[in-house]
Structure 1
Amino acid sequence: MPLAPDSPLSICFPNDPKALKALADAGFSSAADIASHFPFRHEDRRHFAPWPTSESDSPLSIRGRVTDSRQLRSGFRKPFVEVTLEPIDSLGLLPPVILRWFNLPWLHKSFAADMEVIAFGKIKAATHGRLVIDHPEYEILSDDSTDAAIHMDRITPVYRAPNGIPQKTLRRAAFLVLSSADPDAWPDILPPPSPNSDFSGLSRLTALRDLHFPPSEESSERARRYLALEEFFVLQLHVLRRRLAILALQGAPHCGPGLLLNRWLDSLPFPLTSAQLRCIDGIRSDLASPSPMHRLLQGDVGSGKTFVAIAAILLAVESGAQAVLMAPTRILASQHALTFHRWLHPLGLRIALLTGARSDDAQALSSLSADNPPHIIIGTHAVLHGNRLANPGLIVIDEQHKFGVAQRNALAAQSSAPDVLVMTATPIPRSLTMTLYGDLDLSTLDEMPAGRQPITTAVRINPDPVQIAAFLRSQFAAGRQAYLVFPLIDESSSLAVRAATREVETWRTRLPDHQLGLLHGRTPADEKDDLMERFRANSIHALCATSVVEVGVDIPNASVILIFDADRFGLAQLHQLRGRVGRGPHKSFCILITNGDNPDTTARLQLLEKTSDGFAVAEADLRIRGPGDLMGTAQSGLPDLRLGDLIRDTPLVRTARRLASSILEADPSLSGPHRHLLPLLSPPPPLPSSPA
């Protein structure tokens, strides 16, 4: 019976309730569930090896005749099964091969003398010079055998097995589904490939068949790339539809003549970089347009994003609009408030800080009358709650990857088509920019301000704490300060890594003449504020902390950051932590401490010794950890990538964007010839309506 994607698996297994139950228990109910459960590797079982006479380095296929099958027991061990195979045409001159299974005592009944069997596995030498394959895959050949064609004598798929479901059950289900699939019920998602394309002649159903049961290694990779392009294409439709929804809004220009901006620029004791000025010009053009701005500003640690944000805010405020700056943590919001008060106080602007502390927020707002609302609101997610925003014309979101799309849209929904500027200090590889942030225009700060101190980075394997303490004392004697960063707040019984609450006491005994503070995610808000004030005033010499200091801590006097169990952090996160030092005129150091147990991990950390380029670090992190870990795609509202690789498949990302752009240009609502794509897409995130 021809199968559609929603066909129940009972059609494939009408007489095998055991297999059907195993599939259902593992979460498979339809043909599409099976077809989209992709193999993670293949085994080449196309060729029978010459009959083995010694161990093999890799698995191989052999074909032989059963001469014996028995259940055995060795001492107190559980019973095991041994099946003896000999070559079919042997004259007894070649050694037999023993197929052996443990804890499957019933299996010996499946074999009888003179049966022909295909077995696949790695040959190893056992006692008495015997050759053994432990737990091989096998097929018993008979005149009516069909399973042999599924599992043997081909490039065979190997699947991840949820609930421990047998490989044969998964493989047989995939074979039955794909061989019975109705081509008309499995339409292509991608536009038809051109005759000179790499995918010429390939359809979605053919690609699925070739990915599961490829006729050659080349066809397997071609199928993977086709289906990866399909993933990227659907993802691009998501982000470009979101972008079209934004462009369809009619907002209001939020760009004054620039008098405030010029006054502020004239007051600065240093010139902005050419990259900062270029980004400000792009933002000025966006703000002057009635279409709302949706722009991503990215730059390395210390590249000066905050000053670009201040420029954008001044342009918006001068037009009569309120500006909102949203930060992911109270520490970062407070740091921004200090920076804004420092640089904008001479301009007479009203600034309110909202961090979620009711008394502080109430005081901040009550000090400003309804007739005199703040020009600038700086806050955490607290700005999302209650009717606290007048009608902001500009929203700036710092450390965008710490927020989900839903939070970004909730903030934007408090105003009518506001301009939105999102910022990140985690440089984003181009392929990821086109996917996760494909709905945003891009500005990049690719130049560092003059005078930024280079940071000496060193990886140290189990250094002597006495030497570390001596180094810290020398820095304290010179008036400097330090961060000691640990991966955990409290000790864990399952992880052999350092915890801040324990280590702060250890280091207080090693540095008895110096003040050490403790900061982590559970530190009460008032205590955090007090700690940061004391650290800023140099009454605390070292701050023992978790990665909570990754963003928002700007202490120019801090010259050392020690990161313990550095292998527990991602490269991009380590680069962010490294950026906590080198902010003043002093020589600065980042020491990455690891136990050195894993040479690959140590080599990964040593990349930070070689480069201070955040974009190079981000590329490496993307290769190692994937886009979800790097940028929090779980919060993006976008589908996961299962076959696409954002590093290896960057050309496919570009192709997918071109294809999606072409389709949406011709059919923006996907209500015409491409309406079959709509079920693949969730609706665009809700956006504020245009003002009447």
Structure 2
Amino acid sequence: MKLEQIAVKQIKGVSALKEGELHAFGVRTVADLLAYFPFRYEDYRLRELSEVKNGEKATVLGVVRGAPLLQRYGRSKSRLTCKVEVGGMLITAVWFNRHFLQEQLKPAREIMLTGKWEQHRLQITVSESEFPDSAKNSKSGSLQPVYSVGGNITQQWMRKTIAAALEQYGPMVEEVLPYELVEEHKLMSRAEAFRLLHMPGDFRKGQEARRRMVYEELFLFQLKLQAYRSMNRRRNDGIAFRIDSETIRSFASTLPFELTDAQKKVINEILVDMRRGYSMNRLLQGDVGSGKTVVAAIALYGAVKTGHQGALMVPTEILAEQHAKSLQRLYDGTGLQVGLLTGSLTERKRRDVLAGLQMGLIDVVVGTHALIQDDVFFHNLGLVVTDEQHRFGVNQRSVLRRKGLNPDVLTMTATPIPRTLAITAFGDMDVSSIREMPKGRKPIKTYWVKHDAMDRVLGFIRKEVAAGRQAYVICPLIEESDKLDVQNAIDQYVQLQQAFPDLKVGLLHGRLTAAEKDAVMSEFSSNESQVLVATTVVEVGVDVPNATLMIIMDAERFGLSQLHQLRGRVGRGEHQSHCILMADPKSENGRERMKVMTETNDGFEVARRDLELRGPGDFFGTKQSGLPEFRVADMVADYEVLELAREDAGRLTERDDFWTNESFARLWAILREDPLFKGEQLD
């Protein structure tokens, strides 16, 4: 019988009551319990006091040298002190609420103390202590695992139960990695790694055990993605677009600007994919303003020129209209027909667009989620492009994909993702990155100021508007909050109207209807309003080249990537743009974010630092992240192992004998248990 089939109650010492408590932690089988690894270790290895820094926690061995002194405070609180000699030094040991130890502190008795060392006082505040002459299970000299526990399950019980499980079932732990990989990377066996992660003995062995399990976790995750990708390619049931390079070069030469080297590189990567017989699944990432839309336009042009249609799905109506106009300008003179499909179209216009799509009269359609309604049919959909894909649910993207016969998919994002996350979250995708800005684009100058500098900021707004420019003022909230002392958009709007009675100030927030938002943005785009007070709804919004000033109130309340997205709303025209972060951050993390923003304009660097500061779980936001929960691996700290695991998984799944060689049988079993390999669509 496999460990996955043995109920946790079969372990010695697990009662029906305790079994129920373990179920609450997701532990149902022996396999679950053995894989319930500690999240850290308590270090009880003995140290010399001379090695311990002030304020550090340490374990030392000493001898009682004086009579203990007990002080009581009220009924239940007490302070016990005693002189102890440690390594020839006389120190004071202090216990709180451990009055019962008074009787045991006999002069000349050896004692082990664990606690915080205060060098200037020659004092140790004791959290744990034991007497070697009476301790049955001494922690002295060891590393003790610390588990995530709760309810009636204590650390001590969990340690004892896992030790019992290892003794009973440890030899039954099966190897899952192929022998060749274990040998190549000099990994210990799986059974040994399980034992040492729970009872490491010393740090070196514990680190070796962790290295083994980190590699296994990342390899098995990447194996699923790479095997799916390999199967998809072997099916070869996609569209092999016969795109002529000269046709693309000819179209590119008509553009009103020169493509950057980075744009040319990613266009080439996309066209190579489109010419292949399997469905393209590529992520295109690049900073705001790096020219992703032009790359998508060229890919869509290539699809249309081979007799197919293209679709571009974006999250907002404003963005859809903007993209439709941009594509019409780029395709001017080529004969390509661009359609727009959004929820606010009149019934008659909608019917015309639907008919045009079904009959093949519309070559490229730009739209919001209106594109995925049941009554939308394409004549011959070949390429699907989604912009800011993290704003669509998984199902929305896959519905659009199913409107064609295995169309190619290009996903765009202006939130640069560090490579570590890209190959984890999007491991089944090929990733193209534009890391170069168009020529002549001026870097945005970013400043961090305190809130008491508001008068100077108002003067700066006045100066920019006098020069014919416009300004955004971003607030974290719409209305005043009892719980949060932060600037809100409505108050800020009123204050700016009073400060600039001669200017038109607009107000944009999430509670406005789509039509109201469009009207406000339309006024700002046409310079009818000079200052726009907004919440983060402008994060993905229209292109206003005349806006040169971005002011972000309470900037410490935003994440790094969000601050960078907001900053990207300016700097789109020929004039120098500025971003002012108004913040009084109390946390070190908040100050670090302000520092990063003033140091770099590179979205990829911002994303890398954001990942370091926040960790992968919060990078995308938990709802749509799709990131796996690893037990041991950390995508930031273990990025080198992640790269290695991906290479190994890719190499293995591309082998002709992968599905027939018996040495990979354990891997087949793992893959076949996964929903991806039971016929479900990966998106």
- If the length of structure 2 is used for normalisation, what is the TM-score? 0.86
Structure 1 CA distance for aligned equivalents of residues 243 and 215 of structure 2: 44
1:377 partner amino acid: V
8 Å CA contact 2:291, 2:438 repeated in 1: yes
Distance (whole Å) between structure 1 residues aligned to residue 15 and residue 132 of structure 2: 20
What is the deviation of 1:196?
6.6
Q: Give 2:192's aligned residue.
A: 206
* 2:39 is the counterpart of 1:40: yes
User: Counterpart in 2 of 1:389?
Assistant: 377
Q: Percent of counterpart pairs with the same letter?
A: 36
* Corresponding residue number in structure 1 for 2:289: 302
Paired amino acid for 1:307: V
Q: Is 1:157 paired with 2:145?
A: yes
Q: Does 1:609 align with 2:595?
A: no
Which of the residues 208, 214, 221 maps onto 1:228? 214
- Which amino acid in structure 2 is aligned with residue 684 of structure 1? L
Q: Distance in 1 between matches of 2:40 and 2:338?
A: 57
Corresponding residue for residue 581 of structure 1: 570
Report the alpha carbon displacement of residue 538 of structure 1 after superposing the two structures with TM: 0.5
**Number of residue-to-residue matches in the alignment:** 672
Counterpart of 1:176 in structure 2 is 164
Residue of structure 1 equivalent to 2:402:
413
Q: How far apart in 2 are the matches of 1:452 and 1:603?
A: 27
Q: Distance in 1 between matches of 2:168 and 2:133?
A: 23
Q: Does 1:627 align with 2:616?
A: yes
Structure 2: distance between partners of 1:179 and 1:542: 70
**CA 1:4–1:86: 2 relative to 1, 3 Å:** farther
Cα deviation for residue 413 of structure 1 reads: 2.2
Alpha-carbon separation, structure 1, partners of 2:133 and 2:100: 18
1:519, CA displacement in angstroms?
Answer: 1.9
Measure how far apart 1:451 and its partner are. 1.8
Q: Which residue of 2 aligns with 1:101?
A: 97
Residue ranges of structure 2 left out of the alignment (5+ in a row): none
Asked if the contact 1:240–1:438 (Cα under 8 Å) also holds between the matched residues in 2, the reply is yes
Deviations 1:452-508 (A, max 9, x none): 122111111224222111110111111111111122334443333333233222332
Instruction: Say if 2:339 and 2:353, in contact at 8 Å, map to a contact too.
Output: no
Cα displacement (A) at 1:447: 2.5
1:66–1:83: 8 Å Cα contact kept in structure 2? no
Name the CA distance, whole Å, in 2 between partners of 1:470 and 1:401. 38
Work out which of the residue numbers 445, 449, 454 in structure 2 matches 1:460.
Answer: 449
Matches within 5 A, 1:230-245: 230-245=216-231
In structure 2, do the counterparts of structure 1 residues 50 and 434 end up closer, same or farther at CA, with 3 Å as the change threshold? Answer: closer
Shift in Å, 1:305: 0.8
Q: Quote the Cα distance in structure 1 between the aligned partners of 2:627 and 2:388.
A: 19
2 CA distance for matches of 1:543 and 1:462? 19
Distance 1:63 1:445, change over 3 A: same
Larger deviation, residues 434-443 vs 162-171 = 162-171
> What is the aligned partner in structure 2 of residue 676 from structure 1?
666
Q: Which moved more, 1:582-591 or 1:40-49?
A: 40-49
Q: Secondary structure at the match of 2:271?
A: helix
> What TM-score comes out, normalization by structure 1 length?
0.85
Which of 304, 324, 327 does residue 340 from structure 1 map onto?
327
Determine the C-alpha separation between the residues in 1 that align with 2:47 and 2:354.
Answer: 84
Show the counterpart of 2:76: 79
Asked if 2 retains the 8 angstrom alpha-carbon contact of 1:475 and 1:481, the reply is yes
State how 1:443-458 maps to structure 2 within 5 Å.
443-458=432-447
Distance in 2 between residues matched to 1:600 and 1:334, nearest whole Å:
38
C-alpha change, 1:644 and 1:341, in structure 2 (3 Å) is same
Q: How far did 1:173 drift?
A: 3.1
Deviations 1:530-561 (A, max 9, x none): 11111110011122222222223211000011
Shift of 1:396: 0.6
Shift of 1:321: 1.2
Quote the offset at 1:419 in angstroms: 0.9
Cα distance change, pair 533–88 in 1 and its aligned pair in 2 (3 A): closer
Residue 314 (structure 1) shift: 0.9
- Cα distance in 2, alignment partners of residues 567 and 335 from structure 1: 31
Correspondence 1:6-45 to 2 at 5 A = 7-12=6-11, 14=13, 23=22, 26=25, 28-45=27-44
Q: Which ranges in structure 1 are unaligned for 5 or more consecutive residues? A: none
Distance in 1, Cα, partners of 2:318 & 2:12? 59
2:633 to 628, 644, 648: 644
Q: Secondary structure at the match of 1:295?
A: strand
Structure 1 181/262 Cα, relative in aligned 2: closer, same or farther at 3 Å?
Answer: same
- The answer to whether the Cα contact below 8 Å between 2:475 and 2:552 also exists between their aligned partners in 1 is yes
SS in 2 for 1:181: helix
1:668–1:146 distance in 2 versus 1, CA, 3 Å: farther
The equivalent of 1:513 in structure 2 is 502
More displaced, 289-298 or 232-241? 289-298
CA distance in 2 between partners of 1:204 and 1:111 (Å): 47
Could you tell me which amino acid in structure 1 is paired with residue 302 of structure 2?
A: L
- RMSD across aligned positions (CA): 3.9
Displacement of 1:598 after TM fit? 2.9
1:481: which partner in 2?
A: 470
User: Is contact 2:8-2:14 (8 Å) kept?
Assistant: no
SS at match of 2:97: strand
**For 1:396, what is the secondary structure of its paired residue?**
strand
Structure 2 counterpart SS, 1:450: coil
Of 112-121 and 465-474, the range deviating more from structure 2 = 112-121
Return closer, same or farther for 1:557/1:165 CA change in 2, 3 Å cut-off. Answer: farther
1:385/1:112 Cα in 2 relative to 1: closer, same or farther (>3 Å)? farther
- SS of corresponding position for 2:654: helix
Q: Residue 267 of structure 1 aligns to which amino acid in structure 2?
A: T
Pair 31,555 (structure 1): closer, same or farther in 2 beyond 3 Å: same
Q: Which residue of 2 aligns with 1:320?
A: 307
CA contact under 8 A between 2:340 and 2:353: conserved in structure 1?
Answer: no
- Give, in whole Å, the separation in 2 of the partners of 1:646 and 1:460: 34
Q: Residue 378 of structure 1: CA displacement?
A: 1.4
Q: CA shift at 1:101, angstroms?
A: 2.8
CA 1:560/1:361 → structure 2, altered by over 3 Å: closer, same or farther? farther
Deviates more, 1:165-174 or 1:468-477: 165-174
Structure 2 residue aligned with 1:502: 491
Q: 1:626 to 1:98 in 2, by over 3 A?
A: closer
Matches within 5 A, 1:270-285: 270-285=257-272
Quick one: distance in 2 between partners of 1:207 and 1:179? 14
Deviation of the 1:588 alpha carbon:
0.4
CA distance in 1: counterparts of 2:622 and 2:55, whole angstroms: 43
Q: Structure 1 stretch 155-164 or stretch 650-659: which is displaced more? A: 155-164
- 1:439/1:633 CA distance change after superposition, 3 Å: farther
- The Cα shift of 1:4 comes to 3.3
How many Å separate the matches in 2 of 1:100 and 1:21? 35
| CA-CA distance at 1:404 after TM superposition | 4.8
Contact 1:298 1:428 survives alignment (8 Å): yes
* C-alpha distance 59-592 of structure 1, shift in aligned 2 (>3 A): same
Task: Give the C-alpha shift of residue 388 in structure 1.
Answer: 0.8
| Structure 1 contact 40–158 (Cα < 8 Å) conserved | yes
Please say if 1:122 is aligned against 2:119. Answer: no
Whether the 8 Å contact between 1:3 and 1:31 is mirrored in structure 2 is no
Displacement of 1:313 in angstroms is 0.6
Q: 1:269 to 1:35 in 2, by over 3 A?
A: same
When structure 1 is superposed on structure 2, of 115-124 and 324-333 the one drifting more is 115-124
How many angstroms apart in 2 are the aligned matches of 1:130 and 1:272?
Answer: 69
| CA deviation after TM superposition for structure 1 residue 386, in Å | 1.2
Q: Show the counterpart of 1:661.
A: 650
Q: CA deviation at 1:623?
A: 1.4
Asked whether the 8 Å contact 2:62–2:86 carries over to 1, the reply is no
SS of residue in 2 equivalent to 1:508: helix
Note if contact 1:321-1:392 (Cα within 8 Å) is conserved in structure 2.
Answer: yes
For 2:361 and 2:117, the matched residues in 1 are separated by 79
The reply on whether 1:371 has 2:371 as its aligned counterpart is no
Counterpart CA distance in 2 for 1:501 and 1:177 is 60
Query: Residue 393 of structure 1: CA displacement?
Result: 0.7
